């Protein structure tokens, strides 16, 4: 191999190396989906108080309520839902949903008893986009 072809090969390798390295990097913009499931009790309040996890101030429209979280589940296991819920401001979490889901959340049947709320969490925006809500199933051996 001549010195000239060796130099050309070296230049080509140096130019190609950064693209090979970048191709193997993990894209930092790819995160697990923030779909979470909250199990707890929704309570009506007259005026919201300062609250921190596991007690969350929640807003249904312009009506403040308190959600006492009993359990947090990540629908996608890699998403650290509980850690992100701790980032929610003490001002609370606004629950956004279709009209029928908001009506269900505001109904007396959903208050003062365990319920399950599933939705997409955006802690920095203080928003939970609710996609489903239901009364929690009682497990055997629990009152």
Does the structure show a pLDDT above 60 at 52? yes
**CA proximity to 56, closest of 40, 34, 36:** 40
Q: Is the pTM of this model over 0.95?
A: no
Give CA torsion, residues 116, 59, 108, 111, to 10 deg.
Answer: 50
* Residue 139 binned pLDDT confidence (cut-offs 50, 70, 90): low
Distance CA 92, CA 53 (A): 10
Give the mean pLDDT of 42-68. Answer: 90
SS3 92: coil
Whole-number percent of the chain with pLDDT over 70: 76
Which ranges in 40-124 belong to alpha helices (H)?
Answer: 81-85, 99-106
Does the structure show a pLDDT above 80 at 123? yes
Distance CA 122, CA 84 (A): 8
Distance CA 111, CA 113 (A): 6
The 10s digit of each residue's pLDDT in 68-122 is 999 999 998 888 999 999 988 888 899 999 999 999 999 999 999 999 999 999 9
């Amino acid at each position: 191999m001549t010195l000239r072809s060796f130099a050309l090969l070296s230049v080509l390798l140096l130019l190609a190396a950064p693209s090979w390295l970048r191709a193997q990097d993990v894209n930092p913009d790819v995160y697990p989906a923030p779909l979470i499931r909250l199990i707890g009790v929704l309570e009506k309040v007259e005026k919201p108080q300062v609250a921190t996890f596991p007690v969350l101030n929640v807003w249904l429209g312009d009506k403040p309520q308190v959600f006492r979280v009993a359990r947090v589940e990540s629908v996608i296991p890699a998403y650290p839902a509980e850690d992100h819920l701790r980032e929610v401001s003490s001002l609370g979490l606004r629950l956004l949903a279709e009209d029928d889901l908001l009506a269900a959340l505001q109904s007396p049947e959903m208050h003062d008893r365990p319920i399950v709320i599933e939705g997409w969490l955006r802690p920095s925006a203080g928003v939970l986009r609710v996609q489903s809500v239901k009364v929690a199933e009682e497990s055997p051996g629990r009152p």
